[in-house]
Amino acid sequence: MGMVREITFSQAINEALDYKLSTDKKVIMIGEDIGKFGGCFGVSAGLFDKYGSERIYDAPIAESGQIGIAIGAAASGLLRPIFELMFVDFFGVCMDQIYNQAAKMRYMFGGKAKIAMVIRAAGGAGGSAAGQHSQLLHSIFAHLPGLKVVVPSTPFDAKGLLISSIEDDDPVVFIEHKGLYAVKGPVPEDPQRIPLGVADVKKEGKDVTIVATAAMVYKSLEVAAKLDKEGISVEVIDPRSIVPLDENTIVNSIKKTGRLVVVDEDYPRASFATDIATLSVAKCFKELKSPVKLVTPPSTPIPFSPMLEKEWIPSVEKIEKAVREII
Amino acid sequence: MIKEEISKEKLLWMYETMVKIRVHEEVAAELFAENKIPGFVHLYVGEEAVATGVMANLEKEDFVSSTHRGHGHYIAKGGDIKTSMAELFGRTTGCCKGKGGSMHIVDLDIGELGANGMVGGGIPHAAGAALGMKLNGLDNVAVAFFGDGASNQQNFHEGINLATVWNLPVVFVCENNGYQISLPYSKQQIINSVAERGKSYGIPAVSIDGQDVMAVYEVAKEAIKRAKNGEGPSLIEAKTYRFRGHFEGDPVVYRTKKESEWWKENKDPIVNFKKFLLEKNILSEDDCALIQKKEEEEVKEAVKFAESSPWPKKEDIVKDVFSTSTKGVLVWEW
């Protein structure tokens, strides 16, 4: 195999969108400033020029109406819309359409509706964007039955998972961490699909299991590399999708290492982090050698000041400390 | 009243449909009172002319989005009342396999996008189906039904605005029955008609007598023609009245008996349409009696089907959440 070129996380998503727009006439995009402007973060750059206003719907600020239109288009079986929610934080103005409509339609209609749509949303802290533009929020979508929830960490995963999400017949919430948009990584030019529900072991290890999502994967790998030199072997698992969840890979790893640290950027209560911690207790109680550690932000809104925000986001130091405490 | 000749067949269909809805709803009320139908039930009695007048213009391939008061839309769009009745009973033969109930009856195969428990929730869904039709080059139209209460909700404003800027083949039909549960229309808006809002979206909007099925038919026909011609959305306000409470069991303390009696005596859409059909010699009293009997029989059959249908199985709880199966755990059970 030859060298795989490196592109950014943002370009990888753009390629997935481009691929599906070019191969499936039913695929359209709806979102704010996704036309000439190319999206608030430039992710859809060039797509409007290539596919035009019949495929790329540059929308007024009316998220509930936009998602509702995407749902109707999907339910009718006539289209497979991709809706871009500029910031995942904005789910508050359109959540009814997401969780009462898109998520429940199939079930409430006795399995007769297919809501084949993707909600792409930018999330994540680190840019001093304060409390309303910095959240990740995957836990809240995972809490509600009927939604698939994908939180990729690498450009490779982002492309493969987005293609699978667009080809999936269910509503998928695809959360893109803003801090990763510029991260580069190897991504094949071919449209390689990555199935939902398959975790990726980003690094193998035998002493401690870290389950981490999105930007936290990189920080966890940094800690793992450092501790490796001291002979502490850390396994880093990125579930990639929260719903479906690759329970087996996580459970098997915890059984192998006997130790679990969950590192997540979402709020700590009733969360993805507590969910994985509960899983370890419910399914690996006998194998656990030490208390489960959770490295998350505190349950506060996200502060604006760079000094405060830096402290709020789980740091490499905090992850390292958590691992050392249970070794 | 009639601007152009309507076929006798269509007039007959309209009368039969209105009678079917009325009989269905009155039977549903009895069944609810007998505790045979669980949950919330919102009946369409008194509003039959709206769904019927609009639907008389539609084909199977056209889509409609409905409301929590959705039985009339479902029936007029051609829904099978056996499966909807079984759904009201919570049986596995129901159109939602017993997972939706009255507020979610649906038949996507005949273009019925589903009743909807969230006020205003379905408005953009019709616009979405319309977008699908437009992009697929189909000569079809979508209709969103909603009430006066929904016209205060974001999905009304956002849905209509988006449908206009994207010029979608959709018709918005507001069934203004005068009350948002208990709050009268006069306390919801300071304008006289929901149709006045059409101007702010730059679309034709008209307020009509929703008790007059011919008036509804005519205005819907015009709006549907516009939509199909690529001239974009229209808004129709059909002023109507629900003869029963908001839901079955509603003590209806917010309006006077005198008021509702006046509507029943003077503005019953079926009585008035029947009078018109008799005057025009389109139907005789005997014909009407036969139709009444036929619809009663059909509803009776539906109830029999529902009552004799099996309950869903326990294992059905975890089915039908997702369409595409995946690796990993999709439906969690501890």
Distances (CA, A) of B111 to A246, B57, B60, B125, B165: 37, 13, 6, 12, 24
**CA B273 – CA B261 distance, rounded (Å):** 18
Read off φ and ψ for residue A176, nearest 5 degrees. Answer: -105, 120
Task: Report the C-alpha gap between A127 and A148 in whole angstroms.
Answer: 27
Instruction: Work out the mean pLDDT of chain A and round it to a whole number.
Output: 97
pLDDT recorded at residue B5: 79
**How close is the nearest chain A Cα to the Cα of B264, in Å?**
34
What is the C-alpha separation between A4 and A187, in angstroms, rounded? 6
Contact B104 A244 (CB under 8 A): no
User: Which among B321, B333, B334 is the top mutation candidate for probing chain A, defined by the most A β-carbons within 10 Å of its own β-carbon?
Assistant: B321
Chain B residues in contact with A247 (beta carbon < 8 A): 328-329
Strands A260-263 and A241-243 turn out to be unpaired
**Which residues on B lie below 8 Å from A82 (Cβ)?**
none
The residue of A90, A109, A278, A285 whose CB has the most chain B CBs within 10 angstroms, and thus the best one to mutate to test that interface, is: A109
B-chain residues near A148 (CB < 8 A): 322, 326, 330
Residue A244, preceding bond cis, omega within 30 degrees? yes
Q: Do A109 and B100 touch (CB under 8 A)?
A: yes
Query: Token pair of B329, please?
Result: 């755990």
Q: Do A109 and B328 lie within an 8 Å CB cutoff?
A: no
Question: Regarding beta strands B170-176 and B142-147, do their DSSP bridges make them parallel or antiparallel, or are they unpaired?
Answer: parallel
- Across B54-64, b (16+ Cβ under 10 Å) vs e yields bbbbbeeebbb
Average pLDDT over residues A211-223: 98
Task: Give chain A's end-to-end CA distance (angstroms, integer).
Answer: 40
The phi-psi region of residue A196 (left if phi > 0; otherwise alpha if psi is between -120 and 50; otherwise beta) is beta
Angle, in degrees to the nearest 10, between helices B48-55 and B8-33: 140
* Closest CA–CA distance from residue A82 to any residue of chain B (Å): 13
Say if the Cβ atoms of A73 and B128 lie within 8 Å.
Answer: yes
Query: Amino acid identity of A69?
Result: I
Domain residues of chain A, as ranges? 6-186, 200-326
Which residues from chain A sit within 8 angstroms of residue B162, using beta carbons?
A: 59-60, 62, 65-66, 69
Across the interface, of A62, A108, A110, the residue whose CB is closest to B158 is A62
Chain A residue numbers touching B201 (CB-CB < 8 A):
none
Among A100, A197, A199, select the one facing B121 at the smallest CB separation.
Answer: A100
Backbone φ and ψ of A261, nearest 5°: -125, 125
Measure B35 CA to nearest chain A CA, in Å. Answer: 22
Taking contacts as CB-CB distances below 8 angstroms, the residues of chain A near B319 are: 111
Q: How many Å apart are CA B42 and CA B203, to the nearest integer?
A: 31
Q: Do B326 and A79 touch (CB under 8 A)?
A: no
Quote the DSSP letter at residue B47: -
Contacts of B118 in chain A (CB under 8 A): 96, 100-101
What residues of A are annotated to the active site?
133
Alpha helices in chain B (DSSP H): 8-33, 48-55, 71-76, 81-88, 123-135, 154-165, 198-201, 213-228, 257-266, 269-279, 285-307
- Look up tokens 């995972």; give the residue: A142
For residues A111 and B82, give the distance between their C-alpha atoms in angstroms, rounded to a whole number: 18
Candidate list B24, B42, B125, B246, residue with the active-site label: B246
Single out the residue of A320, A202, A312, A313 nearest to residue A261, CA to CA: A320
Domain locations in chain B as residue ranges: 8-318
Query: Strands of B234-239's sheet, edge to edge?
Result: B63-65, B142-147, B170-176, B234-239, B205-209
Q: Where are the alpha helices (DSSP H) in chain A?
A: 9-23, 47-51, 63-75, 95, 103-108, 138-143, 155-167, 215-228, 247-257, 272-284, 306-312, 316-326
CB A150 within 8 A of CB A174: yes
* 8 Å CB contact of B117 and A148: no
CATH no., domain B8-318? 3.40.50.970
Q: Judge: B125–A71 Cβ closer than 8 Å, yes or no.
A: yes
pLDDT of residue A239: 98
> Which CATH superfamily is A6-186 part of?
Thiamin diphosphate (ThDP)-binding fold, Pyr/PP domains (3.40.50.970)
Contact A300, A268 (CB under 8 A): no
Q: Residue B289, SS3?
A: helix
Catalytic residue among B24, B71, B104, B242: B242
The vertex-A133 CA angle with A128 and A135, nearest 5°, equals 95
Q: Is B254 a catalytic residue?
A: yes
- Cβ contacts of residue A96 below 8 Å, gap of 6+? A64, B118, B121
Please compute the mean of the pLDDT values over residues A72-97 and round it to a whole number.
98
- Print pLDDT tens along chain B (334 aa): 455 679 999 999 999 999 999 999 999 999 999 999 999 999 999 999 999 999 999 999 999 999 999 999 999 999 999 999 999 999 999 999 999 999 999 999 999 999 999 999 999 999 999 999 999 999 999 999 999 999 999 999 999 999 999 999 999 999 999 999 999 999 999 999 999 999 999 999 999 999 999 999 999 999 999 999 999 999 999 999 999 999 999 999 999 999 999 999 999 999 999 999 999 999 999 999 999 999 999 999 999 999 999 999 999 999 999 999 999 999 999 8
Contact indicator for B124, B155 with CB cutoff of 8 Å? yes
Residue B187 per-residue DSSP state: G
Size of interface A-B (CB pairs under 8 A): 200
Q: How far apart are the first and last CA of chain B?
A: 64
State pLDDT tens for residues A23-61: 999 999 999 999 999 999 999 999 999 999 999 999 999
Residues in chain A: 327
Of B117, B124, B321, the CB nearest to A69: B124
- The pLDDT, as a whole number, for residue A1 is 52
CA–CA min distance A308, chain B (Å): 36
Q: How far is the alpha carbon of B326 from chain A, nearest alpha carbon, in Å?
A: 6
Q: Is there a contact between A78 and B162 if contact means CB atoms under 8 Å apart?
A: no
How many other C-beta atoms lie within 10 A of the C-beta of residue B293? Answer: 12
The torsion angle over the Cα atoms of residues B47, B53, B56 and B61, rounded to 10 degrees, is -70
Mutate to test the interface with A, among B323, B331, B333, B334 (most CBs of A within 10 A): B323
Instruction: Find all residues with CB under 8 Å of A250, minimum gap 6, and list them.
Output: A199, A209, A211, A237, A239, A276, A279, A280
Nearest-neighbour CA in chain A from B212: distance (Å): 30
Query: Out of A28, A63, A107, whose CB is closest to B320?
Result: A107
Contacts of A206 by beta carbon, 8 Å cutoff, 6+ apart: A233, A235, A256, A257
Candidates B62, B116, B138, B158: best to mutate against A (most CBs of A within 10 A) is B158
A59 neighbourhood in chain B, CB within 8 Å: 162
Nearest to B165 among A60, A75, A113 (CB): A60
The residues, ordered by sequence, that sit 6+ positions from B248 with a Cβ below 8 Å of its Cβ are: B28, B29, B32, B33, B40, B41, B42, B43
> How far is B233 from chain A, CA to nearest CA, in Å?
14
Once rounded to an integer, what is the mean pLDDT over residues A113-139? 97
Question: Which residue does chain A place closest to B123, by CA atoms?
Answer: A68
Token look-up 């006069």 returns: B186
Q: Which fold has domain A200-326?
A: Rossmann fold (3.40.50)
Q: How far apart are the CA of B282 and the nearest CA of chain A, in angstroms? A: 37
Give the DSSP per-residue string, A77-128: TS-EEEEEESSGGGGGGTHIIIIIIIHHHHHHTTT------EEEEEE-S-SS
| CA A190/CA A123 separation, integer angstroms | 27
Residue in B209, B116, B226 with CA at minimum distance from that of residue B170: B226
CB contact under 8 A, B97 and A110: yes
Contacts B321 to A, Cβ<8 Å = 106-107, 145-146
